[in-house]
Amino acid sequence: MPRTSLVPRLQPFTSTIFAEMTALAVRAGAVNLGQGFPDTDGPAGMLTAAQEAIASGVNQYPPGPGRPELRAAIAEQRARYGTQFDPDTEILVTVGATEAIAAALLALVDTGDEVVLFEPYYDSYAASVALAGGQRRVVALVEEPSGRFGLDVDALRAAITPQTKVILVNTPHNPTGTVLTRDELTAIAELCQEHDLLAITDEVYEDLLFDGREHVPLGSLPGMAERTLTISSAGKSFNCTGWKIGWVCGPAELVAAVRAAKQFLTFVGGAPFQPAVAHALRSESAWVADLRAGLADKRTRLSAGLAEAGFGVRAAEGTYFVCADVRPLGFTDGLEFCRALPDKIGVAAVPVQVFTDNPDRWRHIVRFAFCKRDEVLDEAISRLHRLH
């Protein structure tokens, strides 16, 4: 008989909510603000570099750690935060950040080890913890009077036990749009050092912060370089989510462990895209600045439209997402709201409760993506006004 132990282990994480929302949106001809990816391409120079790489024969397996020019470019990019990584031993190219997170957890977490996640969390985190045989402990972000979702340091401290091995930190944060402050990250760093914990950071939205906010890598704080794996990718910074080029940076012994797990997942990937991303990291900072400014405007545009439509809009400090409270419109359940929305007015969104262990706490919050063309956002806003 085939072994099926992984089926029940992963069953809670095989949610069909995204497929369901997409199917509902397509059937209803809805404007899909549930999908967290842009509808425009990245910088022309990067696209040309990829085309040239394909034409010149960069189509076979790249080196296991990633192409040297990309690893060097990643090291240069991380240096802007004051962190130094050896491209040969401390940087690993992965098939997107999602693989980097999974490989890091598989490499570092043993059966029964606890991993602390901040709720709501990106959906792959819990599944990856389960694949590694770990146990997750969840700390909820808290809604502040300003509309921001902040860190509850006391709750984090209480969640740490002798079995805790890893804290997984995502900032800028999906799905809430929160950017953790230096003080919040310092508190996490102090707890990691006090309890001798490892940190894995998901920083894929590191370039998409608004209103002058500062991205502070956890690994750049005192005492954290030796215990932190820093993960990021090209997809969000350069509008190339389909390329799946990510990376993990950290101490050589931790990165080597991640590589040992990663080589049996995808081995390698994205050969012709790697030199193109190297070009982007080195030469497209002005394009990224324009992207950031444009997304800040889109954030404001959608947030204002949601408020005018009657939602309780929460602060969006970064990422692609703004969260909103459906209760002012007379709804109490975000999942039911999102299932009805495509047929009701022709818009799709995502209920935040599906990213949590404690859905009742988040039942009133839904997530909208603003990484779309202005005309798409305007059409969605017009339709959302029909909810009155």
> What is the residue-level pLDDT of the chain in tens, covering all 388 positions?
344 455 555 555 545 677 787 887 888 788 999 999 999 999 999 999 999 999 999 999 999 999 999 999 999 999 999 999 999 999 999 999 999 999 999 999 999 999 999 999 999 999 999 999 999 999 999 999 999 999 999 999 999 999 999 999 999 999 999 999 999 999 999 999 999 999 999 999 999 999 999 999 999 999 999 999 999 999 999 999 999 999 999 999 999 999 999 999 999 999 999 999 999 999 999 999 999 999 999 999 999 999 999 999 999 999 999 999 999 999 999 999 999 999 999 999 999 999 999 999 999 999 999 999 999 999 999 999 999 7
Calculate Rg over the CA atoms of the chain. Answer: 20
Q: Could you tell me the two tokens for 121?
A: 């969390």
Q: Does the global pTM surpass 0.75?
A: yes
Neighbours of 298 (CB within 10 A): 22
With CA atoms as reference, report the closest residue to 70 among 288, 224, 268.
Answer: 268
pLDDT at 267: 96
Instruction: Give the pairing type, strands 135-140 and 321-325.
Output: unpaired
Give me the pLDDT at residue 5, please: 54
The answer to whether the CB of 31 falls within 8 A of the CB of 376 is yes
DSSP structure string for 37-57: S-SS---HHHHHHHHHHHHTT
**Please, what is the angle between helix 68-78 and helix 273-283, to 10°?**
30
155: number of Cβ within 10 Å: 14
DSSP 327: G
> What is residue 2's predicted lDDT score, i.e. its pLDDT?
44
- Number of residues assigned to the chain: 388
Task: List all residues 6 or more positions away from 330 whose beta carbon is below 8 Å from its beta carbon.
Answer: none
CA distance to 208, 210, 294, 342, 371, per residue, from 291 (Å): 8, 11, 5, 29, 10
Residue 310's φ and ψ, nearest 5 degrees, are 110, 0
